[in-house]
Copies of this chain bind each other. A is one copy, B any other.
């Protein structure tokens, strides 16, 4: 599919798609029609884009993703390095989830005590 359709379906901008492609997160092929310079993106790019969002949300940088996706994609590279990378990242993400949960509790507690105050003043 062409970049415009991909952008619409994945809900990211064309520029973002090009940005990701420049950084090796996704890839495309020249269109079958050789008379233009349009690129063709496989359907699977949709899932990759969705995964990129999840990964970023979990704290992955573009550089992390470049490494992860290229390793996963090609299977080349030092398997031990990939394993070490994954173990590191798994630990980081677990840690991050734990921290976020703790912060979430604080937010809820804050809201609840705010509610209590409200009720207090509405007697």
Contacts and interface: CB of A to CB of B under 8 A. Distances in A.
Interface of A: 51, 53-55, 57-59, 72, 79, 82-83, 86-87, 89-90, 93-94, 96-97, 99-104, 106-108, 110-111, 114-115, 117-118
A87 B115 CA distance: 12
A114 to B, nearest CB: 6
B83 A107 contact: no
A97 B99 contact: no
B110 A79 contact: no
A59 B54 CA distance: 13
Contacts of A82: 114
A108 to B, nearest CB: 6
* Minimum-distance CB pairs A-B, first 9: A54-B103, A58-B100, A86-B111, A58-B103, A93-B104, A57-B99, A54-B99, A90-B107, A97-B100
